[in-house]
Amino acid sequence: MKKLICAKDIETLHNNGDQVILINKQTIITPSAKDLAEEYHMLLKKSESESVNTVFDSQEITKEYLVTLLKNLLNEAGITGFEEEPFECQTHSSGLKIIRGSTVKLSALNDTDEDVCYQEILSSQAGEIKLGILAINNSHLYEEDTLESVNYVVDGTLQVTIDETSFEAYKGDIIFVPQHSAINWSTPNKVTILSGKLKSGG
């Protein structure tokens, strides 16, 4: 298994008083890490006379490893905010897309409630239709002055309240929400909803 050493690792070793860094052919040192080690006069000691990869070789490189390497290089270059894609997607030049549902990573809608999560997965070219996945875990979501939407209950049980009237929706049910509604979505368990919102024309 390859080991990555970045500038942050060199800084930590230096702060700990370490002056010798043991490396082998499985060790990858980023350019900035190598420069920092030289600046601190730290010795890179090769075990068994093995050479060091300052970039990497093509063997035993995984996708996850390349993502980690790229993140470290970008961070060292001062480029922040690099994040993994929220889902895996296959595309065709015609515009066709296949989104791998099992790979979709949801994010909390706000800082106060981590039990309500959402991820937009598709948007029409004109931005008139947006499709996303909403998950509510033993919580509720109140929406006011809504966009027109069509919502499919993928899993779980949902309680929908509008104008003080409540309805139960179950797996496989489809809920149409008219524009400019005030609606409360809630569940005592966990529910996953595929939600398509239609942007108002006026």
- Averaged pLDDT, 17-29: 78
% of the chain at pLDDT higher than 70: 78
Per-residue pLDDT at 36 exceeds 60 = yes
Per-residue pLDDT at 56 exceeds 70 = no
Model pLDDT for residues 87-138, shown as the tens digit of each residue: 888 888 888 888 888 888 888 887 777 899 999 988 877 778 899 999 999 9
What pLDDT, on a 0 to 100 scale, did the predictor assign at position 159?
96
How far is Cα 38 from Cα 32, in angstroms, rounded to an integer?
10
SS3 of 76-138: HCCCCCCCCCCCCEEECCCCCEEECHHHCCCEECCCCCCCEEEEEEEECCCCCEEEEEEEEEC
Domains by residue range for the chain, with CATH? 3-76 (no CATH), 89-198 (2.60.120.10)
Per-residue pLDDT at 168 exceeds 80 = yes
CB hemisphere CA count around 198 (13 angstroms): 12
Per-position b or e across 124-150, b if 16+ CB within 10 A of its CB: eeeeebbbbbbbbeebebeeeeebbbe
How far is Cα 135 from Cα 9, in angstroms, rounded to an integer?
38
The one-letter amino acid code at 142 reads: Y
